[in-house]
Amino acid sequence: MTYTVAFIGTGPDPKNPSTDGFAMAYRHAPGYQRLDDCELVACADIVRENAEAFARTHDIPLEHVYTDYEEMLSETRPDIVSICTPPSVHAPLVIGTAKSGVVTAIHCEKPMALTWGDAQEMARVCDAEGVQLTINHQKRFGKPVRQAKTLVSEGRIGDVERVEFGAETLYDMGTHFFDICNYLNDGSPVEWVLANIDYTEENVLFGTHNENQAISQWRYANGVDGLASTGRAADFVGCQLRVVGSKGVIELGTDEAELRYRVDGADWTVVDTGLDTVHKPVPGRMRSGLTTVASRLPATLSSKLTDQLSTTSYEARAIEELVAALREGTASELSARHALAAEELIFASWESARRRGRVDLPLDIEDNPLESMVETGDLVLTSPPA
């Protein structure tokens, strides 16, 4: 069976220096194109020029370029839809696509939704409609995270006692690290969250508020503790990710830094992760040079050599996994259930700041506490935007 694939939200061409954002559709598309059972058939963006540029880049017929996603679904009837818009519109697009009666699977960018209520509704509707919903927490497919998981599973550091991370924000970037912490702790449910935030300077990323600084603690049902520090205090943790065990510790450094572990009383052991860093594969200088040379060869030679030189992106690995899950009728690692567990930690952290106290889970709110506090004036900007 061949799965037809469409995109909602292409963004501008990321090769354009004026591009604002990551244009994630351009990162999703190669993931599908490398699979023999996927075919790109359509795209939609509210800016037609952006959609046309995306279609030309990825060999989508221009007659299948749309500004109205519902019209695209009705006319092209894709099996899989990648939604690559800002998070504030994820919910209506996911819900509308699921209810169209056309699609089999939806792969949506992170963070999952603007509010906790929207995130839950997205999952509920997709489940009711029999649509596989996955969220692009692709960083869990990087070798540093996979090999950290192997070290944990092998008992190299004994029983896990605490997971920690330092990141720019709890929402935009923290969604990845909450997901990774849950993954490393075998998906144990969380019992409570205690957090506080600072938001004295406006920090809007992709149309959504993010705190300037936060400290968050949480406790899993299996007794493992969690700690996150963000923004101005991101370096308090001392690395991007740490797993503390009864016999040792695992650390994952900054972007190009090493994955290492230490059994108490011994020296650090560095784990080889190849080209993979925290966020993406980064080819060395020689490989980059050879790839440039390959691009100048005749098309048939260039394609073969480029494939041999390239390493798959984390987005491509994520898409390969979700398509395999769809094909085999199994649950994807990127399932809505796992994504909700990460999202709940974000909104619970902000809710703890709003309540000025500990929040027991499951979370009993519908809104986005940070957005609500900004709107009501409970958070006062000392350095308002110009």
- Confidence bin at 278 (pLDDT 50/70/90): confident
pTM of the model: 0.91
Q: Amino acid identity of 143?
A: K
Of 99, 102, 107, whose CA–CA distance to 132 is shortest? 107
Distant-in-sequence, close-in-space partners of 49: CB < 8 Å, separation ≥ 6: none
CATH fold for the domain made of 3-139: Rossmann fold (3.40.50)
**pLDDT for the residue 298:** 60
Give residue 257's pLDDT: 66
Confidence of residue 287 (pLDDT cuts 50, 70, 90): very low
* CA angle in degrees (0–180, nearest 5) for 156-157-162: 140
Please compute the mean of the pLDDT values over residues 44-68 and round it to a whole number.
97
CB 5 within 8 A of CB 40: yes
How many angstroms separate the CA atoms of 292 and 324, rounded? 32
Average pLDDT over residues 217-231: 98
Average pLDDT over residues 82-88: 97
Instruction: Report the CATH superfamily, name and number, of domain 140-278+339-376.
Output: Dihydrodipicolinate Reductase; domain 2 (3.30.360.10)
CB 284 within 8 A of CB 310: no
pLDDT of residue 342: 98
Domain ranges of the chain: 3-139, 140-278+339-376
- pLDDT of 297 reads 53
Residue 3 CB coordination number (10 Å): 18
What are 92-144's pLDDT values in tens digits? 999 999 999 999 999 999 999 999 999 999 999 999 999 999 999 999 999 99
Calculate helix-pair angle for 25-33, 314-328, nearest 10 degrees: 60
Of the candidates 315, 257, 320, the residue with the CA atom closest to the CA atom of residue 36: 320
Report the pLDDT averaged over residues 43-53: 97
Cα 41 to Cα 94, 202, 316: the distances in Å are 19, 40, 18
The rounded distance, in Å, linking the Cα atoms of 165 and 178 is 8
Residue 110, both tokens? 């992170």
